[in-house]
Amino acid sequence: MSKTIFAVFLCCFSCCINNTFSQTCQGSLGDPVVHIDFGRGDDTFGPELGSNTKYQYIMSNAPADGYYTIKKKIDRGDPWHFISNHTPDDPDGYLMMVNASYSPGIFYETIVTTELCANTTYEFAAWVANLMKSGGIKPNITFQITTINDQILSTYNTGDIPNSVESTWKQYGFLFTTIGNVTQVKIKIVNNALGGSGNDLVLDDITFRPCGPKISTSIDNGQQEKIICENENTSITISANVEGSANLRYLWQRNSGNGWVDLNNETTTQIIIPAQTLPPGNYQYRILAAEINNFNSPSCRAASSAVTIQVTPSPKPIVVSQQNVCIGNTINLDVNGTADSYSWTGPNNYRSNLKSPVIENASAADAGTYQVSIISKGCSAIAQINVSIIALPLAEVDASSVSICEGTSVTLHASGGSSYKWMPSEGLSATDIPNPIASPGITTVYSVSVSNGVCEAIKYVIVNVFRKAEADAGKDRSIIEGQSITLNGKVSGDHVRYFWTPSNFLDDPSKLNPTASPPQHITYTLNVWSEEGCPGSTSDVSVKVYKKLEIPNTITPNGDGINDVWNIAALEAYPEAEIKIVNRYGERVFSSASDAKNWDGKYKGVNVPVGTYYYMIDLHSGQKIITGSITVLR
């Protein structure tokens, strides 16, 4: 079944395309007013053509002579070409495949239902391909356009359609003119060759296009394409030069990508377009022309070739409108997006071609307006940023260094701003006030950031913490009468001084470790104080002085009253003393009781044998145990 599509513009092309016309329109062609493409669908085979052909319809990949099929593509292979339907961008479209009958004759005939214009010339065209790769009978076709009453208006014979190595669609065409009041015509397609081996062909995309006056169009007197920038403040003139009847009517059309749209108010051979009215995109313009009486029928209109206006989007640079920079800091200029080129200008004849230039160590002279001009795809745009240079706050602190004693505090003072930030926070009563109380445990460097709301300056305060003066006189000591001892004094803290009291029997009371030689018990005090005025401290050490012992090394316990008892002079000065005497075998023969400190040479009331014995005396005075030997004689 044939299908007619009105006012649809189709570019016809395929794998290999040739055009053969018996006549050529000397003017301009309109859009196809008749288009027979045999339909489209999801199925492999399309519907039969009914009365439009006397051939037999068959759903087959290889119709016999006198048969035809409607199919998306021919994919049988040898001896035929693989070939798809011709309609561009229509994979679901169908073609007509014909295996010609043994006898020549009409194999396609249809009445064109589209109302044509009287006394108007049209181009007839159809796409045909010989299916045979080589050899065989070659198709030979005659196209006829007749009136409804079979009066021939025009005819065209293709001659033998040759074989080709590759599948080749070929367009055949000619002109015909409707006569008198003829507005309806027939299409007849005749097979002139015999059937048998060969004479196999495919047919697709039969079209009528009105042939009108010769029209040439141009933009601004010569251009077929013009590229402009979005919002460009200019006007574009498109003119048409028409060669033909003086009794013509015109209408301009525009295609913005969704098909041709009439510009109903543009009916002269010139159109003026304000460029700023066109959003970014591609725009095609053409002019339609037809006799005044026929103009309202799309079947009568010829169309010029299209001219194109390409509107390139203007770049849209975005920068921050205001940047506040503190003196001495960095000015960071930047524009978003990408462009082909950048050009910055600013105060002090500033110039830069970078996208994001940097100005180091900003000064008051750098304040002002900076402008960036960018170019993208030939279009330019400008943006501005105002840079203000803000003076730093006059930050002050009362003192850059203060000293305190350990465990005390001091108030720090900063000024010159509207807000403050102290660091570190350890030891501070607050970090966001100008005068916090500082109580650090160790010497600390504090920084204070003084801000005026935009800029900040930093000052530093060292809080020196002097450690407490601490004294340690050491452990209590003991000596034997006549001995000397070194005192183990220790001090800690910063900038400390010290001395011992009393100074009696000390070799130098200003020394930390003086030598003491007291004749009797005494207590010394180590006095420590700080040169920084921090509190001092004292510590005492007791030195006990014990009598010197005279220990006999021989006794003669024979009862003559002379040297019968081992008696240690001055032992009574050591009431806690313990004595132990053992024989040479380590057997104890004497140990002192709390009162008995003398040995009479007996063990359990019996005289011990003459010989050498050994003693150990623990005075419990902090001194080492005294040891030695004693000889018993009789």
Q: Is 347 left (phi over 0), alpha (psi -120 to 50) or beta?
A: beta
Domains contained in the chain, CATH given:
17-211 (2.60.120.260), 214-312 (2.60.40.10), 322-390 (2.60.40.10), 396-466 (2.60.40.10), 470-546 (2.60.40.10), 554-632 (2.60.40)
Residue 201 has pLDDT above 70, yes or no: yes
Residue 3: band (very low, low, confident or very high) from pLDDT cuts 50, 70, 90: very low
Q: Determine the average pLDDT of the residues in 246-266.
A: 94
pLDDT band at 621; cut points 50, 70, 90: confident
pLDDT tens track for 82-107:
999 999 999 999 999 999 999 999 99
Listed in sequence order, the residues at least 6 apart from 170 whose beta carbon sits closer than 8 Å to its beta carbon are 17, 18, 19, 20, 127, 128, 129, 161
Cα separations (Å) of 421 from 325, 402, 415, 418, 451? 20, 19, 12, 11, 8
The values of phi and psi at residue 125, to 5°, are -145, 145
At 17 the pLDDT is: 44
Answer whether residue 505 shows pLDDT above 50.
yes
Instruction: Please tell me the predicted confidence (pLDDT) of residue 478.
Output: 83
List, in order, residues 6 or more apart from 282 with CB less than 8 Å away.
256, 257, 308, 309, 310, 311
pLDDT band at 251 (very low <50, low <70, confident <90, very high): very high
Measure CA 201 to chain center. Answer: 60
pLDDT of residue 592: 84
- Quick check: 6 pLDDT over 60? no
Q: What average pLDDT is seen over the chain?
A: 91
| Rounded Cα–Cα distance for residues 8 and 25 (Å) | 19
From residue 80, alpha-carbon distances to 88, 99, 534 in Å are 22, 12, 116
Instruction: Report percent pLDDT > 70 for the chain.
Output: 97
Whole-number Å distance between alpha carbons of 55 and 64: 10
- Mean pLDDT, range 322-337, rounded to an integer: 93
pLDDT of residue 180: 84
pLDDT of residue 593: 64
Per DSSP, what are the bridge partners of residue 272?
237
DSSP state of 42: S
Over 60: is that where the pLDDT of 305 sits?
yes
- Give, for 175, the enclosing helix (H) or strand (E): strand 169-177
Query: What is the pLDDT at residue 596?
Result: 66
Over residues 154-183, mean pLDDT = 94
Cα 245 to Cα 424: distance, rounded to the nearest angstrom: 95
Average pLDDT over residues 356-362: 95
In angstroms, the CA 15 to CA 11 distance is 14
Question: So what's the pLDDT on residue 370?
Answer: 97
Q: What is the length of the chain? A: 634
Three-state SS at 364: helix
The one-letter amino acid code at 189 reads I
pLDDT at 619: 85
Distance between CA 9 and CA 531 in Å, rounded? 107
Residue 337 φ/ψ, nearest 5 degrees: 80, 180
Strands 396-397 and 401-405: unpaired
Mean pLDDT over 294-322 rounds to 92
Q: Tell me the chain's radius of gyration from C-alpha atoms.
A: 62
Which residue shows structure tokens 């009108």?
A: 212
Under DSSP, is residue 275 helix (H, G, I), strand (E, B) or coil? helix
Question: What is the reported pLDDT for 5?
Answer: 30
DSSP string across 69-100: EEESEE---TTBPPEE--STT-TTB-EEEEE-
List Cα–Cα distances, 127 to 155, 171, 294, 352, in angstroms.
16, 4, 29, 61
Q: What mean pLDDT comes out for the span 179-190?
A: 93
Listing DSSP states for 611-630 in one string gives EEEEEEEE-SSSSPPEEEEE
Start-to-end CA span in the chain (Å): 163
Average pLDDT over every residue of 491-495: 93
Q: What is the pLDDT of residue 634?
A: 84
- For residue 363, what pLDDT band results from cuts at 50, 70 and 90? very high
Model confidence at 18, in pLDDT bands (50, 70, 90)? low
Contacts (Cβ under 8 Å, ≥6 apart) of 330:
358, 359, 360, 361, 362
pLDDT tens-digit readout, 436-488: 999 999 999 999 999 999 999 999 999 999 999 999 999 998 888 888 999 99
Assigned token pair, 423: 């660091």
276 with 231: CB under 8 angstroms?
A: yes
pLDDT at res. 350: 96
- Please write the tens of the pLDDT for every residue from 553-596: 999 999 888 999 998 877 877 888 899 999 999 999 999 864 56
pLDDT(118) > 70? yes
